[in-house]
């Protein structure tokens, strides 16, 4: 296997859910999600579904770790999988396979085409991005994988979790690696990198970037656009995008605490990082209109 094939590539065919009558997208958007853990696609689940399942776009996903550090919240899943997952040794050895399968199932719902599992270590919860960047992950391999994907696939956008100081250090590190890799491309070839977080309402705190990392500066302190998970569609407008989000949550059964997020966040807020291509603002506005 070559270094460029270091990532485990697993293809997931999109699953078309229900009858859809939507306006055609101005172009078939191509998006790469870059996250640290299985289940992190939750942050953009409704937006991903809209792009991949309704607007004819393509969404791939890079998951840097297998989330084995989530064994502490696996009590409910022990009966489902028949394994004592809350035992640290057992959980860390068995959760990688379990969480990859859960991710594939969630991905089929929202239409993710390919998942790239890099299987870096999920050692513990931390607020320090440097632990992953300097001590735990093989960041050269992660950057190389991202560079090869950017060069081959020519993504329009990269979705990451907004790297607030208060969020998991692994989330911060994943966003930084995506931003670093994109910044090394020729400006004309760069994707627009967007950072997202779910919220109960639009009164989310502003974000201008991490003081330690200049690449995390955003074009504006307020969100560039918002996708409302509570928006209705379908026959008699009887459906809401939050149904799809709740289906995604339910697929990640090994993460019992995560189940508490069902119906909790009605919005997906997106910030645009300023280190993008020259047409980043125009491209982002076009995506927002299509959504």
Q: What is the 3-state secondary structure (H, E, C) of 240-279?
A: EHHHHHHHHHHHCCCCCHHHHHCCCCCEEEEEEECCCCCC
Scan for tokens 């994109």, then name that residue.
Answer: 182
How far is the C-alpha of 230 from the C-alpha of 267, rounded, in Å? 8
pLDDT score recorded for residue 26: 57
CA distance 192 to 182: 8
Name the one residue in this structure whose structure tokens are 């989530």: 70
What residue ranges of the chain have pLDDT lower than 70? 1-26
Helix 169-183 × helix 139-153 angle, to 10°: 50
Domain 3-290 fold is: Rossmann fold (3.40.50)
Question: Length of the chain, please?
Answer: 291
């Amino acid at each position: 296997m070559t270094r460029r094939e270091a990532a485990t590539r697993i293809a997931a065919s999109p699953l078309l859910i229900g009858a859809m009558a939507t306006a055609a997208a101005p172009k078939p958007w191509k998006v790469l999600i870059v996250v640290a853990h299985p289940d992190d696609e939750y942050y953009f689940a409704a937006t991903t579904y809209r792009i991949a399942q309704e607007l004819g776009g393509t969404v791939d996903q890079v998951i840097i770790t297998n989330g084995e550090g989530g064994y502490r919240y696996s009590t409910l899943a022990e009966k489902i999988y028949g394994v004592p997952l809350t035992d640290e040794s057992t959980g860390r050895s068995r959760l990688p396979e379990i969480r990859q399968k859960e991710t594939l199932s969630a991905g089929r719902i929202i239409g993710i085409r390919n998942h790239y599992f890099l299987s870096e270590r999920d050692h513990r919860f931390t607020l320090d991005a440097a632990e992953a960047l300097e001590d735990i992950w093989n960041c050269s391999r992660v950057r190389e994988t991202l560079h090869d994907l950017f060069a081959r696939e020519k993504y329009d956008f990269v979705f990451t979790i907004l790297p607030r100081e208060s969020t998991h250090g692994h989330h911060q590190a994943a966003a930084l690696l995506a931003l670093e890799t994109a910044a090394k491309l020729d400006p004309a070839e760069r994707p627009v990198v967007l950072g997202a977080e779910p919220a109960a309402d639009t009164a989310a705190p502003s974000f201008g970037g991490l003081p330690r990392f200049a690449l995390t500066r955003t074009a504006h302190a307020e969100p560039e656009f918002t996708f409302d998970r509570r928006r209705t569609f379908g026959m008699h407008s009887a459906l809401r995008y939050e149904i799809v989000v709740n289906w995604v949550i339910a697929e990640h059964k090994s993460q019992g605490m995560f189940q508490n997020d069902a119906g909790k966040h009605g919005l997906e807020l997106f910030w645009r990082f300023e280190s993008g291509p020259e047409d980043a603002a125009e491209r982002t506005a076009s995506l927002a209109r299509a959504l």
